[in-house]
């Protein structure tokens, strides 16, 4: 199975019960490995590491993506089956009659414009092709629908789907390599296609505008929308709200899952290696190229691992020991790990969520976890 593997995992795990609400989980306190405490003032003791719990605050239908809106205290969740809903259960947009729902398709991503006046959804249509679509939104009704960007998909898997506005106010869009296995069309290394890339655009153009400082603007044969390339299926990426660093979880092929980190201030253009290599290992001739190394890799298959889910860097206040830690997990294995950003190799188990599909970050920096089985959890100190 390739890509995010959502559908296959559902079939394999359909007999499992959903995670129970208010379920505490001990964060590992052993020295190897252990998560370092967040930075503390000179002379003060680091926060004592404690326990986390995953408190169920809503139950939805196959939730896969999460967003918040400026000036709005509601949480918005995209269901793979096609609806954008609030955590209270209200339906904002319903694409259930338009989306393709097989394999790794459907409604896959959501983001609000920084002003809160527009909402963007990433979804696949009945033919399996990707749309990034905009609606005007006043907090009550979504109107004035228009497609911002479309991309034909040669296969049903590796659609990416993540949408996020960066600290620069531009919209970043994740597209997988087009699918099948091994990137047979070589899309991830081909600058002439949007597949296998993270894009950066201003969506308020006609249909969108390209920032003048995008790395491939003016380069012959390259698509100017491209911000970064060499990605297989960047299912989830996040921006650190404090540093501006970009964290990219790229789902592996047969051997390795990986997380890439792009530091704030990057001028873009990074090549993350697929399909020349998988993780740090050669796949199809990855030696001797200027490739960016992943900051995290872990073996696919070991302990049930199948698909990396990148989360946020925790910047909230309710869990002091977790501040400054990057959270990530695995869809099939269900574990969640916390790694201090200044010592990323020192990761610790921080909890478990069955069929973890995504994370979310509230306006206050507190963290949420989504399970494809239905629950939306708020991560809290036990």
Decide: 291 and 217 in contact? Cβ < 8 Å: no
Q: How confident is the model at residue 288 (pLDDT cuts 50, 70, 90)?
A: low
The residues near 43 (Cβ < 8 Å, ≥ 6 apart) are none
Predicted local confidence at residue 30, as pLDDT:
28
Predicted local confidence at residue 49, as pLDDT:
64
Q: How confident is the model at residue 303 (pLDDT cuts 50, 70, 90)?
A: very high
Is 262 a member of any domain? yes
Distance between CA atoms of residues 242 and 244, nearest Å: 6
| Cα torsion angle, 343, 349, 354, 359, sign | negative
Q: What is the mean pLDDT of residues 243-263?
A: 97
DSSP 19: P
Is 295 a member of any domain? yes
Is 367 a member of any domain? yes
Domain count, the chain: 1
Is 364 a member of any domain? yes
Please return the burial class of 35, using the count of CB atoms within 10 Å of its CB with bins 0-12, 13-18 and 19+: buried
Is 330 a member of any domain? yes
Domain that holds residue 111: 6-381
Closest CA to 9 of 249, 330, 279, 296: 330
The residues near 365 (Cβ < 8 Å, ≥ 6 apart) are 241, 314, 315, 316, 317
Decide: 34 and 346 in contact? Cβ < 8 Å: yes
Decide: 324 and 313 in contact? Cβ < 8 Å: yes
pLDDT of 31 > 90? The answer is no
Q: How confident is the model at residue 101 (pLDDT cuts 50, 70, 90)?
A: confident
What CATH number has the domain bearing residue 87?
2.120.10.30
Is 1 a member of any domain? no
- 10 Å Cβ neighbour count for 88? 9
Q: Quote the mean pLDDT of the chain.
A: 89
């Amino acid at each position: 199975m390739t890509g995010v593997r959502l559908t296959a995992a559902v079939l394999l795990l359909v007999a499992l019960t959903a995670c129970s609400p208010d379920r505490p989980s001990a964060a590992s306190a052993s020295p190897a490995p252990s998560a370092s405490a967040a930075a503390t003032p000179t002379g003060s003791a680091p926060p004592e590491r404690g326990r986390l719990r995953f408190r169920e605050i809503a139950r939805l239908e196959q939730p896969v993506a999460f967003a918040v809106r400026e000036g709005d205290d509601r949480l918005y969740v995209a269901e793979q089956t096609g609806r954008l809903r609030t955590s209270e259960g209200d339906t904002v947009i319903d694409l259930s009659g338009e989306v393709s729902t097989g394999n790794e398709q459907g409604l896959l991503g959501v983001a609000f414009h920084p002003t809160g006046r527009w909402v963007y959804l990433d979804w696949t249509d009945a033919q399996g092709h990707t749309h990034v679509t905009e609606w005007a939104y006043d907090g009550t009704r979504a109107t004035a629908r228009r497609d911002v960007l479309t991309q034909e998909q040669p296969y049903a898997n590796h659609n990416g789907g993540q949408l996020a506005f960066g600290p620069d106010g531009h919209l970043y869009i994740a597209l997988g390599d087009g699918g099948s296995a091994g990137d047979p069309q070589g899309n991830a290394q081909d600058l002439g296609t949007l597949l296998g890339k993270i894009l950066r655009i201003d969506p308020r153009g006609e249909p969108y505008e390209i920032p003048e400082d995008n790395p491939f603007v003016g380069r012959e044969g390259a698509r100017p929308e491209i911000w970064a390339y060499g990605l297989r299926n960047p299912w989830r990426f996040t921006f650190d709200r404090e540093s501006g660093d970009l964290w990219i979880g790229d789902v592996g092929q047969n051997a390795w899952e990986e997380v890439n980190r792009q530091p704030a201030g990057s001028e873009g253009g990074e090549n993350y290696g697929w399909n020349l290599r998988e993780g740090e290992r050669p796949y199809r001739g990855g030696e001797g190229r200027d490739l960016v190394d992943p900051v995290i890799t872990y073996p696919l298959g070991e302990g049930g691992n199948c698909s990396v889910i990148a989360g946020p860097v925790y910047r909230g206040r309710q869990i002091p020991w977790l501040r400054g830690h990057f959270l990530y997990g695995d869809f099939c294995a269900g574990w969640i790990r916390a790694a201090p950003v200044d010592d990323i190799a020192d990761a610790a188990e921080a909890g478990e969520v069955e069929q973890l599909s995504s994370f979310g970050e509230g306006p206050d920096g507190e963290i949420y976890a989504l399970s494809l089985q239905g629950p939306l959890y708020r991560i809290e100190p036990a």
